[in-house]
Amino acid sequence: MCGIVGYIGSRDVPSVLLGSLWRLEYRGYDSSGIAVISNSELIVRKVPGKLSELEELIKRKPVSGELGIGHTRWATHGLPQENNTHPLLDCNEEIALVVNGIIENYLSLKDELEAKGHIFRSLTDSEVIVHLIEEHAGKGLTEAVRLAVKKLTGNFAFAVIKISERNKIVCARHDAPLICCYSEKEAAVASDMSGVVSIFDEVIDIPNDSIVVLGRGKCSITNFQGREVKFTRRKVTIAVKDIDKGHYPHFMLKEIYEQPKVLHNIVSERIIDSRIQLGEELSISEEELKKISRIVIQACGTSWHAGLVGKYIIEKFARIHTEVDISSEFRYRDAVLDSDTLIMAISQSGETADTIAGLREAKVKFLKVLSLVNVLQSSIHRESDGIIGIMAGPEIGVASTKAYTAEIVNLYFLALHLGILRGFVSRAQLKEHFSALMKVPEQVEQILKLDSDIKAIAEIFCNSRDFLFLGRGLNYATALEGALKLKEISYINATGYAAGEMKHGPIALIDHKMPVVCVNPRSSVYEKMLSNIQEVVARKGIPISVVTKGDRRTKGASKHVIPIPECHECVSPILAVIPLQLLAYHIATLKELDVDRPRNLAKSVTVE
């Protein structure tokens, strides 16, 4: 949700800002803009639409300056049009501001400020911040920011510059991500590490509820009350190549193809000397884990789907009652939680607002939180009691792919670990599971070889209006995830359903035009699922089935089949989702849609 950047130093400021914005574009791409200060002048360039249009504008109307800020927007309040595009200015056009977040009390603040004569130009909630700063500008920019943040409720991260104080960028954060870095001659701020990766080797994770003043060779951090906050730097852990598309046309395709390597790395890191290693940051003792009587997993979107797979395998291997909740529901439902309940958050970004709120809800009740998180040092990482790193590497494509399969493999290891601790998994069974997991990377490679066959199926169905996805047991989640992938990047109405539940409603949708993706690898519910496929056929629906190689019976009932290798039932959700990722990708590209920038979406959902 919105990317913010700022730079002060001797490099070409607009180029640095644009370079950083390109790397943060996945956070939002409705509109973008920059503001630079040059010789006592504040110059703004902004456009609704893609970042490439801002780049064009800057080429046509070049700017230069000593420092600047930039923004790429995911609209919450106000359409993506020029007046709502950041940077936002104060009445006198001397202060420029870029914001990520939501100001919940903006309407009352706006009334107050308008009554004092401030003129608002946008419909954004964020604009109140720049006018609040303007109100106190006589006290200096840093103090004005401190007074402004005290009036705000909601979550925010922002950067602000002022003509008369052009030796500094002032930033603040409350429950929204922000990092900064500085060296002798320059300094920068960004929503995340990818915004500064090409300039700095080290970053500072700005502590929550603090204000940062950045200058050339200078960084001071204070809390909202004005007390100094100590900070440490950490190494930049990603390389430019990790966040570039390489030879792939889209990040999504690159990330689908990265899965064998990612899964191989996880399996190699988690199995050491025939034992499970969940990493140094698990931080919850074996004694504590043994005492757990219930697990509540809370997550959003694709991570929630991984949680559904987690429920099945944790209950199967460890016999611990496990619930999976959508974070936006969990946070408000006042769930019954006792002291032996372990709360788990699953999040690729580690910054999903609802998942953070769910985690805090648990902490208020003094419950332990163990999180699976991909982005290290993210809010979820920092606020959890224990962490299992997802280890998917940077995921830029808005549609999550490699993080999903990586989340499932990590949940698999956690479930086995709990199973061993509680005596439900024997050493011999563990060996069997290890062998199943070790085969996965190679099996995913084999499925990726079917890319052109899957594309051929995509060609047949890319103009379908609706899709139904069905699965049972462990692959109920696969059906949900396949449907989510398709709808979010192709805008086709796709419904994922538990196949056994189909006859209680969705069966009414099936006619001779309806493609029905049926996930039916060999499993304990194979026969049941096969009967469901027959029910689809009897209504003239068109089954496209994901099957275990050599399965003639499902093939006989289906119009098209996509074979996956023979595997342990518990790894089948990892394998079966790969063809569905490719199917969604090809359908969207055949429809000439922008796969990496699907409409209305953004990668990191930092607002509620």
Is 2 among the residues known to form the active site?
Answer: yes
* 215 close to 238: Cβ distance less than 8 angstroms: no
Instruction: Pick from 155, 347, 379, 405 the residue near ligand F6R by CB under 6 A.
Output: 347
CB-nearer residue toward ligand F6R: 63 or 583: 583
What is the smallest separation between the CB atom of 256 and ligand F6R, expressed in angstroms?
A: 12
Q: Side chain identity at 264, as an amino acid letter?
A: H
The catalytic position among 2, 180, 181, 570 is 2
Cβ distance to ligand F6R smaller for residue 43 or 243: 243
- Site map (CB under 6 A) of ligand F6R, residues 398-417, x = contact: -xx-----------------
**Least spacing, CB of residue 410 vs ligand F6R, in Å:** 13
Establish whether 559 is a catalytic residue.
no
The least distance separating ligand F6R from the CB of residue 344, rounded to whole angstroms, comes to 13
Angular region, 216: left φ>0, alpha ψ -120 to 50, beta rest: beta
Say whether residue 349 binds ligand F6R (CB under 6 A): yes
Window contacting ligand F6R (CB under 6 A); options: 129-137, 243-251, 343-351, 501-509: 343-351
Q: Which residue lies nearer to ligand F6R by CB, 51 or 486? A: 486
- Whether the bond between 515 and the residue before it is cis, its omega within 30 degrees of 0, is no
CB 231 within 8 A of CB 221: yes
> Per the structure block, which two tokens stand in for 35?
């503001």
Q: Which of 126, 194, 352, 379 binds ligand F6R (CB under 6 A)?
A: 352
Classify the phi-psi angles of 311: left when phi > 0, otherwise alpha if psi is within -120 to 50, otherwise beta. Answer: alpha
Task: Please identify, using beta-carbon distances, which residue of 196 and 399 lies nearer to ligand F6R.
Answer: 399
Spatial neighbors of 249 by CB under 8 A, at least 6 apart, are: 589
CA distance 83 to 95: 16
CB of 14 to ligand F6R, least distance (A): 31
Q: What's the chain's length in residues?
A: 608
Q: Which is nearer to ligand F6R, 35 or 480 (CB)?
A: 480
Contacts of 394 (CB under 8 A, 6+ apart): 194, 238, 242, 243
- The position carrying tokens 């016999």 is 319
What Rg do the C-alpha atoms of the chain give, in angstroms? Answer: 25
Only one residue has tokens 């050339």, namely 216
Query: CA torsion, points 151, 153, 159, 162, in degrees to nearest 10?
Result: -20
Asked if 479 contacts 470 with a C-beta cutoff of 8 angstroms, the reply is: yes
Q: Cβ of residue 577: shortest distance to ligand F6R, in angstroms?
A: 11
Kindly tell me which of 166 and 250 has the beta carbon lying closer to ligand F6R.
Answer: 250
Q: With the C-alpha atoms ordered 415, 416, 422, 424, is the resulting torsion angle positive or negative? A: positive
What Cα–Cα distance (Å) separates residue 420 from each residue in 317, 568, 593? 8, 19, 47
Residue among 46, 168, 485, 603 flagged as catalytic? 603
Quick one: 399 or 578, whose CB is closer to ligand F6R?
A: 399
Comparing CA positions, the residue from 218, 224, 216, 219 lying closest to residue 175 is: 224
Among 145, 221, 605, 607, binds ligand F6R (CB under 6 A): 605
Which one among 20, 322, 348, 581 touches ligand F6R, defined by CB under 6 A?
Answer: 348
Size, binding site for ligand F6R by CB under 6 A = 14
Binding mask 428-467 for ligand F6R (x = CB under 6 A): ----------------------------------------
The 73-102 site mask, x for binding ligand F6R (CB under 6 A), equals ------------------------------
Find the part of the chain contacting ligand F6R (CB under 6 A) among 156-164, 173-181, 207-215, 298-306. 298-306
Measured CA to CA, the distance from residue 307 to residue 291 in angstroms comes to: 21
User: Whole-angstrom Cα distance, residue 603 to residue 395?
Assistant: 9
CB of 150 to ligand F6R, least distance (A): 30
Q: Closest residue (Cβ) to ligand F6R? A: 301
Q: What are phi and psi of 55, to 5 degrees?
A: -60, -45
Calculate the alpha carbon distances from 407 to 17, 178, 262, 299, 309 in Å: 33, 25, 11, 12, 10
User: What is d(CA 552, CA 142) in angstroms, rounded to the nearest whole number?
Assistant: 71
> What is the number of helices (H) and of strands (E) in the chain?
19, 26
Q: Does 300 bind ligand F6R (CB under 6 A)?
A: yes
Between residues 54 and 399, which has the closer beta carbon with respect to ligand F6R?
A: 399
The residues in 480-539 that bind ligand F6R, with binding defined as CB under 6 A, are 484, 488
Give the residue with the Cβ less far from ligand F6R, 400 or 545.
400
Nearest distance in Å: CB 377, ligand F6R: 14
Residues that bind ligand F6R (CB under 6 A): 300-303, 347-349, 352, 355, 399-400, 484, 488, 605
Active site residues: 2, 603
